[in-house]
Every structure is written in C-alpha cells, then in structure tokens.
Chains A and B, each alone.
Chain A
Amino acid sequence: MSQQGYVATPPYSQSQPGIGFSPPHYGHYGDPSHAASLPGMIKPAGPLGTTAPGVMLPPGPPPPGPHQFGQNGVHASGHPPQRFPGPPPVNSVAPSYAPYEPSTQSSYSSLASTSSITQLGHQLSAMQVNSYGSGMAPPSQGPPGLLSATSFQSPPQPQQPSVLQPGSQVLPPPTTTLNGPGASPLSPPALRQDGLPGPAPVNAQYQPPPLPGQTLGTGYPPQQANYGPQVVGTQLSYPGGFPGDPAQMAGPPQPQKKVDLDSVPGPIQVIENDRATRGGQVYATNTRGQIPPLVTTDCVIQDQGNASPRYIRCTTYCFPCTSDMAKQAQIPLAAVIKPFATIPSNETPLYLVNHGENGPVRCNRCKAYMCPFMQFIEGGRRYQCGFCNCVNDVPPFYFQHLDHMGRRLDHYEKPELSLGSYEYVATLDYCRNNKPPNPPAFIFMIDVSYSNIKNGLVKLICEELKTMLEKLPKEEQEETSAIRVGFITYNKVLHFFNVKSNLAQPQMMVVTDVGEVFVPLLDGFLVNCQESQSVIHNLLDQIPEMFADSNENETVFAPIIQAGMEALKAADCPGKLFIFHSSLPTAEAPGKLKNRDDKKLVNTDKEKILFQPQTNVYESLAKDCVAHGCSVTLFLFPSQYVDVASLGLVPQLTGGTLYKYNNFQMHLDSQQFLNDLRNDIEKKIGFDAIMRVRTSTGFRATDFFGGVFMNNTTDVEMAAIDCDKAVTVEFKHDDKLSEDSGALIQCAVLYTTIGGQRRLRIHNLGLNCSSQLADLYKSCETDALINFFAKSAFKAVLHQPLKVIREILVNQTAHMLACYRKNCASPSAASQLILPDSMKVLPVYMNCLLKNCVLLSRPEISTDERAYQRQLVLTMGVADSQLFFYPQLLPIHTLDVKSTMLPAAVRCSESRLSEEGIFLLANGLNMFLWLGVSSPPELIQGIFNVPSFTHINADMTVLPEVGSPYSQQLRMIMSVIQQKRPYSMKLTIVKQREQPEMVFRQFLVEDKGLYGGSSYMDFLCCVHKEICQLLN
C-alpha cells in the first residue's frame, strides 16, 4: 500500500533530504537501493515491476557524466525518474546522497540504463562507460589516479578492435574457451608463464560484439526498453572464443585485460552502489517480499513484522507460484537463517514474551507460533493461521478485541503480533524430561602430548584460560556467569581434574580405559569458576609443568569427546567442549585414525573419499553429543595431516566451530589463536537447540545445510548454535502458491540460554509470490544464492565426483541465466550475454566458488585445508560466504589518514595492483598485506618503522605499533575488517616478487588460477556459450 505512494520520481532524488516521512515507507525506497545495486532489483516490489516497463531511460545520455563521477552515477542510476513516477523521495538515504546529487541527475538516466542492461564487450567505449558506470565507480572513488584512469580510457578503444569478432564466429570457438575455464587445458600455460594468468585468456575469450555501431544501436535501445519491465539486466554481448591461437592472445593481453575487467560487471561496483544508496539508512521490514540491502551495506534495520535480514536472507524474495516455474528458472529457493545473528547495539534486541504457564500460543494444527501472519477474526475470538489456514480459538487469557481495521487492540503491545523476530519463554513442556534445564557448562580439553608441550601451546592456553574464565558469557541481567567449567587434559589417556572449591589442591584423575571412557567424578569436575578460582588457577599453573617431561606422542580423540559428553550427561546440563588438539589420533582407542591422505586421489572419482570421515565412530558420537546438548569446538594445531574430514565431523554436526592453525608457532600464531579463543568463549550462544522451519501451504523446507544434525526430516537439532552459525534451508513446492497470500516462513528455535533458561526464538518472514519469471529474477539475491550453491556443492562433495559438481554448478548458472534471457530479456543478438540485474555478479561469484580449493584441488593446498574450508563454508552466513569467496582488496597506499571510512575496495585482480601500491586483502580467514616493490618509503616507514622496502621483515603476523597516522589508520582498518568476522584472520606480509606472493595470488579471484581455475572472463565466456547452447 504505502509502497506505491512512495515510488520515486526522478526528481525526488534531489528531494531525498525531505524524506523524513515515516520509516515504514522504506520498503519502497527500494528505489534507491535499485539505484545502488541495479535498477532492476528495485522493481521487484510488486507494483514496480509492472509500472517499470516503459520507464527505462534512453541510453542516450549516458556517456560523459558517469565517468567522472562514477559513484554518483552509480547511485543515481537506480532512480530513473520514469520508473518511479509516483513515489516521493522515498529514500532516507539523504546523507549519502547529497554529495552526489549534482551529477546524479544527469547521470541517472544513463546509469539506469547501464545498470539495467550492461552490454559487455561493446566496442563503443561510451557504451561501456555507461553500462559500467557502476563498475567504474569504485576505482574512481578510491584511487582516482592511475588505475581508474587507465582502466577507463585505455580499455575501450584497444579492446574493441582487437577483440571484436563476428558474433557467428564467436559461438563455435567458445567451446574451446569453455574448456579453458573449467579444465583449463587450453593454452593457459603459456599465458601464465607470461606472468599474467588471468588476463590473457580473458581477452582471448571475451570478445565484444562485432561492430561498435551495431552494438550500440541494437544492443542499447532494446535493452533499455525491455529492461524497464524486467528487472535490470546486464547484457553481455559476448562474442565467442578467440579465433587465434594462444600466441595471438599473448600479444594483446595487458591492455585488453584491464579493459575487459572493467567492461564486465564486478562485485565492487555492485557493493558500492548498494552501499551508496542504502547504506546508513533505516531499513524497515514492514513489507512482504522486499529485498534487503546487501550484506556489505551497513544500515539500521527496524523490525516491523518480518525478520531482519540479519537473521534470514533468501535467495529470492519472490517465489514462483508453481513448481513448474521454479523448475524452469532453476533458481534455488532457499533461505539462509542465522537465528542468533549479532544485532548491532543501535538496533532493538529481541523482545522476550512470557505467557507464564500458558506457554506460547500456537496453531492447533501446524503448531506454528503466534506471529504477525495470524489473522484474527470473529471479533478476536478466533484466528486463522497464516501457515495452514486452520481456524483456532484464541485462548481466553490471550483474548483481545479488534479495532476497526480488524487488528487487535494490543497489536503494538505484543511483540509476537507486530514483530518479525521475538522470543518466548518456554514452559516445562519444552524442556528435556519436563525439567528446567541446568545452566550450561564449558569443558576445556587440552592435548598435552609432546608437541603441544614443546611448542608452548599448553602453557599459552593455561595462561589464557585464567583470564578468560572471568569473561564467561552471562545473561545480561546477571552479576556472574552461570556457566560451570571443567578441565580435562589428555594424550593417549585422559586426565580429569577435580577442582572443587574446598580442595587445597586440585585432584587429577587419570582414565586410561579409553576404549570405553567414562567420567570418573561427579562432584568437583564442573565448578563455578568464581568459587573455585584459586584451585583452578593452581591447576592451570601446574598443568604445563606436570607434563613438562612427557614424551607421549600418541593421542586419542573420540574418547575425549565421549568423556566430555558423558560429563555433561552426568551433570544433566548442556554445554560446550573446547578441545585443543594437535595430531592424528593414532593411539589404540575408538576413533583411531590412520594417515590416509593420498594426493593420487585428487582429480579422480575417488577424491570424495578424502572428504568423508574415515570411520563412522565420529558420526555416532556426534549423534550422542547432539542428543545430550554437547557442542564441540575444536582448535586444531596440526603440523601434518590430521584428517580434518574425520576430526571435524563432530564439531560440524554439533554446532561447534573448527579452528585450524597450521604449524602453530608461538610467536606468529598465538595472537590469532587467542583472539579466536576469546571470541569463541564470549560469543552469544544457545544450547540444546531444535530448529523447526514452518512454511505456509504450498511449499516446504526440504533440505538443510549447516552445522546441524537431523534425526528426521523436519527437526533441525543442534547441540548449540552461536551467533556466527547459519543454516541454509532449501524449499520446494508442494503445491501452487498464491500471489495474494505469498510465501510465509517461520523459523522457531527452541534452545537453552547461557543462564539455563529454556526459550523459543521465532523469526518470521513473508515472501512474495509471482507467476512472472521477471519478478522472480528481480528479487534474487546473489550473495544468498552463492551461499546456497556453496553449501549444497560442498555437501555434495562427499558423494559425487568434484567434476560432476562443478559441471552441475556451471550448468545451473547457465540455465538460470538462459531462462532469464529467454523469458525476461528483450530480444537481442544471440551473442549478447544478458544478465539479470540481481544476478549481475553471479558469474564472478560462481567462478570464485568453482575455483575454491574444495572444488578444485591445488597442489599447495593440503587435503586437511580443503576439508577445513569445506566445513567452514557449510556453517557460514551470507556475509561470511560473500567475503570468503570474493575477498576484500583494499588499496592502502591511497589512504586518507583523516578519514575514518574504509577505502573503497578494488576488484580482486592482479591488474589492480601496482608496484607503487600497498594492498590489504582479507577473506575472513586470512589477511594479506601486499607491498609493491616501489611502495612509497614514507608509507613503509609509517607502517613498519623501517626505512625501505628491503628492510621489511615479512615474518610478522601483527603490525608493529608505530605512532604514525598510517600505521594507526591501517591497524584501525584491519580491526574494522576483523570485527564482524567469526574467525581471527592471520596477517601475512607479502612482498611483491617474493615467494609468499604465490599464495596471495590465489586470492585474486578474478584472475586465472595458477593451477587451474579459470579467470572471470574465461568463465563468463564459458557460461555464455552454455547459455547460447541452451537457447538454441
């Protein structure tokens, strides 16, 4: 309703400041968001789509403006006046907008067009500019200097000529190019040697449409026209492969590559666009099916009836009405649910609803919890469930009259009626054995085998625990933490410790029966750490000494988990095990593992074996753990193969976290480890959780990905779930969905708080339904899509050959895009690659996923590392997976030391680096500081406090604290990047042209991989070819 009113009119962009209106409207200001991301996106809101059609801006205006103000253009682009005729200045964006406005307007039109339809490979430089106004933006923003300039100017011209080839030709050759990306059998080697892995192939493959003129004429106008109605589309006119042989390619490479990169849609501009349009605003969740800002965009989210995107993000916010349609589009329908996501302090924490003994109000039939989707009727005496349509009586205690709108009078007083997310206090019926739960316990289990003693790890852990124990998480209103702690050390036997407060000294109890492990003590193992502080400190002081002379190398693993689980079971409480482990458990005991790492399996159908656990001991152990609410967090310190695939299974299935520190060295890695440990101990967490995802009729949740355990098809059991864990849920149609009622999702998590209170956390989200494919495509969110694809692919890794999985991914990508092309895009030359606006960056992300070491083995990546990353991704939320697959690359040499803003990121391609530059790259696990050989000495001085590049000692993982503004700024940036991430990133200093650079290169994901893995360009070609084939 309100939305329509707000549809933005072109001029409104200026009037934004006035927007103050009312928050609720925001939903609509989707417009701005469109602008930011892509025009098409915005339209998704039901009405828009329809209105939009004619709106599109004529391409004409595009050229000049945009270049200069890339950013502005970008933002602006979203607001083609026509599109949003009605709407006033919806956006609250005011602040960010203001600066840009001037250029904005002018550029808008052009931008809009560009964003809506991007033509790749246009010969017309102008065209490209237009289309990539967005793309260009980033460079221009940040480092206006060299990069952007060069990229802009040079690319277009040289490219077109060289690249262009007849569309017809294009198609045939692509085959080859196709191969290139996937298997990379092509010429690449030669190219790589040239030192330019990515670029060469790119050029070769990616060839703009034949004639500049033509493209312009043909490509543009139609696109725009269509594009209005559809979402935004990016058209890539992609002339097939390169006719020539490698040699030829070698020639053109450098200039071309840069050009190419800029001419294809990149994540950076998409992110920046969204950030510019929606960043810093208030996003109210009052509208069904509205598309939230990107994960990379900071904004304030106001719960007005739907769960915050921090909790739930969907691959698409508009479900197809029928399963046929879903099949046609092949867009996965999935939601990434992070039920315990951290909420920034400026957003309202969840309300807690307490109905006392009555417990939550639930639908009699489907058991859905009272939520805004329930419709009260008959004067408030009954209500109709939004999920199953069952009509229920309102329980007497809950009765309330309705107002003239049919809404309960207490609508705004009850969180469960007006909010998307809230919590219920659970009654005894929701507790295990109908008994209120005990507060959880943390058990620390330290591997005290020789290596851990020798490298000082045990001492480090013990020291750290002393301080950490003071900071155990607690309920907000509580003085002290209710969590009890226990300690176990082990090598091939287990040592339990009695740290009861009345003991003069701790007691150690050795359990050597690892075959059938048990808990040797009841009282005194789990203690309140305040009460037992002195005994615990005494113990932690002694542990390193006690085993100082130990030369035991063998360890056990399954028995300690068993022990921890039994201890929790005996204490009748849920809890979390912190295991600090370093080696392959070879001692004679259940769960004993042998070294089965075999590089020969790589690239064979048996490669999947490497990802499967060696024995089923761990799975049944995990099952027991889950059944008793025992979550396992594992800190691994391997110096060789430890079989992460087996060891990691329990942490994964029990909602724990796996941390891995290869070749742990005290002076380099301790900080990273300690940060992780602190973070993990302190983080928000719920125990003994069961999640149930309910849906309205017509579809249902069919598959779950993440750190979960499923005993049946509907209940997602988690021994614990913390603020960083996300569960991705896939939905399938049961029946037809109606556009009126939409698709409703209710995610309920029953869990035990750290204070030992049983609660229900409810998240509700309403999605739209549409019988128009265009609506579907408009409402997609690429970040969530990639999250889903990554999880489903990584899950499949266990059962299918990697090659098959990669093919499926490529095929599905192509299929999704082809479907769009066929059904939504305006007719255009077959050689054009047209991307829906919402999926503009799908190819680049997809390529990153395909190149990830899990799916594509690389010689320098160990089997363990692959298994590790596989596992990490399975529990990632959208924001984490986005960063993981497309690292953030920040130019540091252009830092404005006075600004507190992060510098604008650049695309992850070698072409963005420069010898004079310093770049910071982060992917959520690693952080690299890349130093060009000609880095400005003053910067080096400022950061490292050494006179020159050569003086830098790359063997550091923490930057020295130098008083200079550069240093402060850089460290501030690093901490900001680190802040929101679940894993502490280890910093590696990479000096250009030195050995570590090889590792660093692997993170430049748009380039061709050193050992295979196609460049973005190659991949785009490949996909385009697939699409063309599909279309034919």
Chain B
Amino acid sequence: MATYQEFIQQNEERDGVRFSWNVWPSSRLEATRMVVPLACLLTPLKGRPDLPPVQYEPVLCSRPTCKAVLNPLCQVDYRAKLWACNFCFQRNQFPPAYAGISEVNQPAELMPQFSTIEYVIQRGAPSPLIFLYVVDTCLEEDDLQALKESLQMSLSLLPPDALVGLITFGRMVQVHELSCEGISKSYVFRGTKDLTAKQIQDMLGLTKPAMPMQQARPAQPQEHPFVSSRFLQPVHKIDMNFTDLLGELQRDPWPVTQGKRPLRSTGVALSIAVGLLEGTFPNTGARIMLFTGGPPTQGPGMVVGDELKIPIRSWHDIEKDNTRFMKKATKHYEMLANRAAANGHCIDIYACALDQTGLLEMKCCTNLTGGYMVMGDSFNTSLFKQTFQRIFSKDFHGDFQMAFGAALEVKTSRELKIAGAIGPCVSLKVKGPCVSENELGIGGTSQWKICGLDPTSTLGVYFEVVNQHNAPIPQGGRGAIQFVTQYQHSSTQRRIRVTTIARNWADAQSQLRHIEAAFDQEAAAVLMARLGVFRAESEEGPDVLRWLDRQLIRLCQKFGQYNKEDPASFRLSDSFSLYPQFMFHLRRSPFLQVFNNSPDESSYYRHHFARQDLTQSLIMIQPVLYSYSFHGPPEPVLLDSSSILADRILLMDTFFQIVIYLGETIAQWRKAGYQDMPEYENFKHLLQAPLDDAQEILQVRFPMPRYINTEHGGSQARFLLSKVNPSQTHNNLYAWGQETGAPILTDDVSLQVFMDHLKKLAVSSAC
C-alpha cells in the first residue's frame, strides 16, 4: 500500500486534495454501498512555492453550461489547434494567442505537473485590502491597553495602501472618521436599535456621492465604482491619526452598577460594520475584525441580559429550550453573516473573556464568511497576541497569507454530481447539470463563496456517483473533477487557481480490492467527522452519534473479513485499520460531545474543525501523544491511559491545547531540583526536550494553542486525562492488576470495549 500512500501524499502536496476513495466505484449503487461517500478535502490555497502564477487568463470551454478550464487532461489537436473539453467533450478552438502551440511548445496548463495552476487576472483595477476593526470598549483597563497595543502593532504590519477603519462599541457604537484634522470625529449609534443597511448608510452619509475622496486614487467609475469613505482610509495617510485615536480610546464611560454586566452593543456594531462595507466596498475583499470582551448584552443580537444574576445560557439551558435570546440573536448574526458573505467580506471574531461571549450565536459570522474565530481568556495573553500577530504573517513574497472574496466552482465529469461542501463557505446557489439532488453539507450548488481564505483553509467537498449500474464506463475511462477558485490575492490581484484531478473507475463487484486499497482512511475519517459535526449543529447529539456508529458498523460489515456471528474472526485490512479508532476518538471529541464544554467552546472547536486541513483535523480528532523518557528517544505513544507512566514526560497536542505532563517520578525529580545539578544535566535535557518540541508547534499553529505545563496530580492534568483512552478506570483498575498507567475516573467506555462491541455488531447478521 505504500504506493497508494505515496500517491495520496503526492496528490495532496501537488493539488491540495485528498479523496476518501482514490479509485472510484463505477455505479451509483456500488458507491452507496461503500458507506463512506466519495468526497475530498480540498485546500484551495495550498501553498505551492514551486508554482509561479501565470500572467494570463485561463482558456475556457466554449459551452456556456460548462466553461471548464483547459487542463492537462484535455485532448489537444495541435495541428487543428483544437482541444476537447474533458468534462463535456466540446471541441474548442484555441484562442489566437495560442497559435504557436505544438507538442513541444505547450502552454503550462497542458503540462501534467500543472494539474494545479494559478492565473493572474489583469483586468480591472486592483482592490485595496480593507481592514475594519470593531473594538469592544467594555474591557478591563489592562485588557483594553493590551488590545490597543495589538491593534497598533497590526497597523504597522499592514501594507501602506491598505484601507483601515475603526468602529468602537460599548453602550453606544462609534464609527470613527479617520481623516479629520484637529478634532477627532465619530458617528455614534444607539446600541439598542436595529438599523437596516440603508439606514446605516444614510446615517453615515454614504448614500451621497458628495463625499469627495481626498485621496489621490483616481476614480474608477466603471469597474470598481467604490465610493471611498471617510471611514476607511489608507494606512499611510492616517497612521498618526489612528495612533492618536487608539491612544485616546477609553473604556466605555457609562457606569456599570453592581450586579450588572456592562452594556455591550456587539450586534449593532457588527451590523454597522457590515452596512458600512456594504455601502462602500461591495464585492471587494474586506476583513471585519471584531474584538470583544464579553457577551452582547443589549440591542439586536443580545445574548444575555445585563443582570449578572442571570447567567449566560448553557448547554443545559439549550436542551431545556430555556434560552431567551439565542434564537433571535442567532438570526441576527446569520442575517449579518449572509450579507457580509454576499459582498465578499469576512468577519473575524476575537473573543477574549473568562466567561462565554456569545460565540454560539455569532459563530455563523465566521463560519459563513471564512473569518477567524479566536477565543481566549484575555487580550492581555500571549495566546491572543501571538494569534493575532500570526494573522498578519507573510509568505516569502511578502504577501499576507490570506485571500479574500473567493468563489469556488466545482466541475465534474458526467458520472459524478456534486452533493455539497462543508467548510467556511456559503452557497452561491448556482444550480447546474452537475449538482446533485442529494445534499451533503451545503449543497444544491456548484459554487460557493469563501470570503476569507488562508493556505490551510480546507473544505470538504462531497460527490455522488450517478453512473447507473448498467452503463459501464469505457475501459480506461477516468472520472475528472475541476476546482476553480477565483479570489483576491492579498497583493490585491485577482487570481484564479484551477485544480483538475482524475481518478480511475473500478467495478466494485469485480475490483473491490482495488477500491479498498485506495481507501484513504484519514481523509475518510475527517470527511465523515465533518458530516457528523455538520449534523450536530442542527441535530441532537445522540442522533449524530448513532448515525456515526451505524456508518462505522456498515463500513466494517462491508470491508471487514469475518465469519458471521464470530466477533473473534473479525479483521480489517490495513487501509481501514485505523478508521474505527478515529471514530472512537471522534465520538469522545468536543466536536460531538458537549459535556464539560460551554456552548461557546463547542462552537469554537467546531469552527476550527470545519476549516483545518487533514493533518490538523486528525490531531483534533485523535490528539497525538509523545513520550519522553530515559528509555529511548522521544516516541509517539498510544493515546491511552496506559501511556501515562511515572518516569515519562508526555507531550500531548490536541490542536487547541499543548499539554506537557510530567510523570510522577519526573515531577518529584524536578521538585528535588536535579535539573539544576550539573551531574544530572541529562535530566535537564529531558525536561527541555518536550518544551522545545512544544515551542515548535506553537510557532506554526493557528490559532495559538493553550499551552499547559503540568505534572502528575496537577489540576491541569485533567486536559490529558480527559483525552486518553480510558483503558484503566476506577472500575477495572484492580481487576487488571495494576500493571502500569494511570486510572481515569470515568464511566466512558474504553477503546477496547468499543472495539469489542463493534466487532460483535459487525459480524452480527441482525443488522
């Protein structure tokens, strides 16, 4: 199988694509029997430093319903200067510019290594990058100070011609005008009043073109008729003003009486931000960055009242349907998110507070627009500061690693249809011949809008094989899928990235082994997990778990080797061997289990799960555990309670947390101060090793994980204990003879129990 793994890896590196199946069942019926749908994880902007964008526009198939992009899979008649579209088989003339092509003089898009290629669109004026800061002022003094510093820092990272704007809110919402001299000017809105986009634009004076642009930018009437606004100004012009403005930014001055929460008008502030951009820069990439230090407490979008004695909703309340504001607030933010998405604007939420801040209600803002969601305890933590800084990190070209206003279009060959996508996107509602009736995720369309993208943003795209069983696919026929991603590069260029892939068909009855061998269990696990999480957003938790279990059982039944009614005989091939384990951990993961998590945390976890690439997603599903000991070099160990040994240091990466755990003995040694003794320098090194490794992870991970350094018996050891497979619990501790490891005080089933049960069900003929 090494070949398949190499193939998969190679494909991932080249195209940013991983399919659940790399050989496709050739009929609808067979495909459904495969249990795991034909689907892929697509990372549209996967970094390809080796891929220089070409400076011309793609050649499109001339059939209006197709418009596929010329790609290496197309058959080309060099003499007739014709090419045949591999999706619709339309024969197309090459455009005049291609007159000189021949077998030896091929354009890049025809070369096999350019199955992924990026075009730079020259048409149209470049749109500026736009950053609109929406800042909560109901913060503690040092929090606000830290936030101000971060904002200040971000300003210095922005390109000088990027446009920035500032909205602050507390009890009121202030939209700051940035170009004023001598007096700082802001427009103030009541935090309790829901305003329509039109009202907002009227009130900000955006509807009149009378506001002359002081900027030297020449007016572009036709293509980008954006009215520059007083509220969004190029960084280089208002650098000083902005600095002063931030400097004078005060905490919300309205008194907060004892027993009350500060009045925070997040809903209105966001509404104004969306309205402002909508009125000034529609269809231009822009980033609304919401910094909030607490839940919205008034106006539309309020999540909790200002009475402190009434706590913010919990999962318990939600189950009891005891949430006064949730539905209304969610509706409000969904409306905003959809409007922002429609205009290509993305919304980030940076929520730093000890309690919940209403991410549950606001999650759609980030989820639908591709914005970031960051959750921390305080703005005055490195978690926030570094995460925020990382947003502005640049690639080696000096460009931000973010893209705006992307539209992803998927084209399939005839045997396939598109069932849907799951990821930080919204549907563009483009129906077409290749759109399936059956929806998985956000379906019913062949195009999605992704307002904010970065090189790791990953979508799950789900397909349906529609080829009928009795319509065999010609020998050697391959199914093809083309992903066309148009986006605004951070260098303000418009670009189009085209990825075209093809896979072999196989008859599931005769060639099941092929198909089985080409199963990508990692991708499949993540794709199934995304489906599960997607369902969990709208369905009851237990239902989702049941569904997942059933799928797993069916998969085992289909691909396992066993004798009926004999659990002991059950075997899975290598390509499936890890899958049940992934599912086991997924069932325990915070994406599906809300126990012990607040609704905000769940939303936060799910948000990241729905956008990270495969590797990160897998870490989220099944955290990785490394062991450091004197017995050998660091090694990954089972995520199992049996791995928790007294003479080990463990490093666990759950994506959201990095936990370093010192075993009992190690902890005692450290306490005794051996590491400071020259003769125990090796102990010092041992202590240091996981720290260094953790640091490495911290360097690249976005968002910054919570860094936890704990030891045996430490209160924060719970982070580790809650993740490991509870192979030893208080229930079976004594029965098992206390060989090693640490007992977990839980009633959860262990992987062993889970597997036993799975086997039993798989071999049972009952279901």
Contacts and interface: CB of A to CB of B under 8 A. Distances in A.
A496 B188 contact: yes
B575 interface: no
Given A520-B172, A521-B253, A522-B253, A508 B193 contact: no
B190 A510 contact: no
Contact of B189 (A496, A507, A513): A513
Contact of A506 (B177, B183, B195, B204): B183
B190 A508 contact: no
The B interface is mostly helix, strand or loop, or mixed, namely mixed
A543 to B, nearest CB: 9
A504 B195 CA distance: 33
Given A520-B172, A520-B174, A512 B204 contact: yes
Contacts of A810: none
A518 B205 CA distance: 19
A422 B254 CA distance: 41
Contacts of A546: 183
A511 B187 CA distance: 6
Given A509-B174, A512-B187, A513-B190, A523 B248 contact: no
A508 B189 contact: no
B184 interface: yes
Contacts of A524: 253
Given A509-B174, A512-B204, A513-B203, A520 B184 contact: no
Q: Identify which of A507, A522, A523 gathers the most chain B CB atoms within 10 Å of its CB.
A: A507
Contacts of B248: 503-504, 507
A512 B183 contact: no
Contacts of B185: 495, 507-510
B37 to A, nearest CB: 51
Contact of A510 (B187, B193, B244, B250): B187
Given A496-B188, A513-B203, A520-B172, A505 B183 contact: yes
B183 A542 contact: yes
A512 B253 contact: no
B202 interface: yes
Interface residues of B, number: 25
Given A513-B203, A521-B253, A507 B182 contact: no
A539 interface: yes
Give the size range of A's interface with the partner.
20 to 34
B254 A522 contact: yes
A516 interface: yes
B190 A539 contact: no
Contacts of A506: 183-184
Given A512-B202, A513-B193, A520-B174, A507 B186 contact: yes
Q: Identify which of A505, A513, A538 gathers the most chain B CB atoms within 10 Å of its CB.
A: A513
Contacts of B188: 496, 509-511, 520-521
Nearest to B248: A503
Interface string B248-282: 10100111000000000000000000000000000
Contacts of B244: 504
Contact of A523 (B184, B189, B253): B253
Interface string B163-197: 00000000010100100101111111110010100
A509 B186 contact: yes
B677 to A, nearest CB: 56
A953 B244 CA distance: 55
A508 B248 CA distance: 13
Contacts of A516: 190, 193
Contacts of A505: 182-184
Contacts of B254: 522
Contacts of A538: 182-183
B229 to A, nearest CB: 14
Nearest to B245: A507
Contacts of A504: 244, 248
Contacts of A510: 177, 185-188
Contacts of A493: 203
A214 B728 CA distance: 138
Contact of B190 (A496, A507, A518, A522): A518
B256 to A, nearest CB: 12
B254 to A, nearest CB: 6
Interface string A513-550: 10010101111100000000000001100100010000
A508 B202 contact: no
A507 B183 contact: yes
Contacts of B193: 513, 516
A448 to B, nearest CB: 13
A546 B185 CA distance: 11
Contacts of A521: 172, 188, 253
Contact of A508 (B172, B186, B204, B255): B186
Given A520-B174, A522-B254, A512 B182 contact: no
A546 B177 CA distance: 13
A496 B254 CA distance: 16
Contacts of B205: 512
Nearest to B189: A513
A404 to B, nearest CB: 61
Contacts of B250: 523
Q: Identify which of A496, A508, A516 gathers the most chain B CB atoms within 10 Å of its CB.
A: A508
Given A516-B193, A520-B172, A522-B253, A508 B184 contact: yes
Contacts of B182: 505, 538, 542
A495 B184 CA distance: 12
A507 B203 contact: no
Interface in A474-497: 493, 495-496
Interface string A131-147: 00000000000000000
B172 A512 contact: no
B197 to A, nearest CB: 14
A539 B180 CA distance: 13
A563 to B, nearest CB: 11
Nearest to B195: A513
A510 B173 CA distance: 11
A508 B174 contact: no
Nearest to B252: A522
Contacts of B183: 505-508, 538-539, 542, 546
A521 B255 CA distance: 11
Q: Identify which of B177, B190, B205 gathers the most chain A CB atoms within 10 Å of its CB.
A: B190
A670 to B, nearest CB: 26
Interface in B198-218: 202-205
A524 B253 CA distance: 10
A135 B502 CA distance: 120
A539 B184 CA distance: 11
Given A513-B193, A513-B203, A507 B184 contact: yes
Nearest to A570: B254
Contacts of B203: 493, 512-513
Contacts of B189: 511-513
Nearest to A503: B248
Contacts of B177: 510
B235 to A, nearest CB: 21
Nearest to B173: A520
Contacts of A513: 189-190, 193, 195, 203
A516 B203 CA distance: 12
A546 B182 CA distance: 9
Interface in A717-765: none
A741 B188 CA distance: 63
A459 to B, nearest CB: 16
Nearest to B172: A520
Given A509-B188, A513-B190, A538-B182, 14 more contacts: A504-B244, A507-B183, A508-B184, A508-B186, A509-B185, A512-B187, A518-B190, A520-B172, A521-B172, A523-B253, A524-B253, A538-B183, A542-B182, A546-B183
16 contacts: A495-B185, A503-B248, A504-B244, A505-B183, A505-B184, A506-B184, A510-B187, A512-B202, A512-B205, A513-B193, A513-B195, A516-B193, A518-B190, A521-B188, A523-B250, A539-B183
8 nearest A-B residue pairs (beta carbon): A512-B203, A520-B188, A523-B253, A508-B185, A510-B187, A509-B188, A507-B184, A522-B253
